[in-house]
Amino acid sequence: MGIFSSIMNKILHKKPAESPAAPPAASAPATPAPAATPAPAPEPVDVEAVLTQIAAMKGGGGNWRTSIVDLLKLLDLDSSLDARKELAAELGVNAGPHGSAEQNIALIKAVWGALEKNGGVVPASLRD
């Protein structure tokens, strides 16, 4: 699982897809299954509210709104340079040298944008 997937799972509460169980062998003739109704679209998640709640439970959270390192630490994820390099590769961020302020700013903005594309409600104050 990639770093961004871990971020999404922590914030959007998504769980890895489980393998469907094999259907039991039927000895009787199979009856047609009723048409499956499509699952309702998941409710959008207020990303800022979730992170604010996590920060409150931990007694802080640093500057997670603008710092990729603080966001990763808040989520109990690896915030090392290698982890941020991997995240930059996942999100296609090529701003500045690895570990630079320029890249870290671009990374946090890319994370907010990617969360929004994946069902998160991200306020403009975080995206800009």
How many Å apart are CA 38 and CA 43, to the nearest integer?
15
Instruction: Go through 3-36 and write b for each residue having 16 or more CB atoms within 10 A of its CB, e for each that does not.
Output: bbebbbebbbeeeeeeeeeeeeeeeeeeeeeeee
How far is residue 106's CA from residue 85's CA, in Å, rounded to a whole number? 12
- For the chain, percent helix, then strand, then coil, each to nearest 5? 45, 5, 50
User: What would the pLDDT profile of 37-61 be if each residue is shown by its tens digit?
Assistant: 555 556 789 999 999 999 999 988 8
pTM, full prediction: 0.76
pLDDT band for position 10 (cuts 50, 70, 90): very high
Is pLDDT at 3 greater than 50 in this prediction? yes
81 vs 12: which has the higher pLDDT: 81
Going by pLDDT thresholds of 50, 70 and 90, the confidence category of residue 23 is: very low
pLDDT the model gives residue 43: 77
Residue 51's pLDDT is what?
94
